[in-house]
Structure 1
Amino acid sequence: MCRRGHAITGRLPLPAKRYQDISFNFLSDGKPRTYTDYAKGDYSYPKYWKYMEYIFAYANTASLHDELPNVKSSTTVKIGDTFVQKGSPIGHAIIVVDLAKNKEGKTIVLLAQSYMPAQEIQLLNNWNKAALSPWYDIDKDVINTPEWTFYARNLKTWK
């Protein structure tokens, strides 16, 4: 799956009208599913959500893992970057929803997750560093969340 031209929340970029930039590649055949082909000229909000529900039915951590480029360093992390573990049969992803940097450049992030179907999002508590919770230090190679362990190499960014 590849996100181009709209927010990670799935909200329609109506003001920009960049419909041609919304495209997701399916893992099953590698072919893109563009919003313009799906909408056939109907760029209404209900039509967009039907498209997103269609995409949600086929998107998973395997498609995210294969489509998204790696973040080179934790010092370049951005809000929206995602830790992705491609699982067989089950993987998991968590998203950076906020970040803070101190004067020395040390970065901490606020992480969130959801499960399938992605209907509600949960902020993750940091059980390993209660004084820092709910923030996480990602300058280390291992990021232990309450349910999953992620590694620096799992950090991906959106195109």
Structure 2
Amino acid sequence: MKKFAAYLCAAGIGLTTFVAFGSEITLLGSWSQPIGSSLLVGGPGTGIQSPIESDPIQATISISGTGQAAWRVKVRQDFVDMPTEVLLAVRRTTDGAGQGSVLGGQEFLVIGETEQILFEGNGDRSEIGLQYKLEGVTILQGQGRHGSTLLYRVE
């Protein structure tokens, strides 16, 4: 059985907090996706289905300490150990709860080593849902564990 695993979370742990400009961002969750026979398109000898998506709320982000000010959530890959043809993407799937609002981020954003805006909003928000997606996984890639660590930042 061929395995490809993507481990996604900020700073490599399930609960991470970063503080920027008095605001705080907390990520809760991760994703590990073994690639086996259940992901083959048509049984032994066939390709792997693509894309591969996580659950719609695989992880959550909470933003606090904003004083009702506007903010942006940015994301980038901090550590990458995946074949170059494999793309990792993330999107926002819920608005979460709390004061203020959340805008953008509903379309998958391919994540690279350059920081990009994932979504923005204002006020304190909790449990904003995130979903992940892998594209480009093939049976031609070697066995083993592959992964990426994502770094989220609020400004």
TM-score relative to the length of structure 1: 0.26
TM-score relative to the length of structure 2: 0.26
Q: Structure 1 or 2: larger strand share?
A: 2
Q: Structure 1 or 2: larger helix share?
A: 1
- Higher relative contact order (CA closer than 8 Å, sequence separation 6+): 2
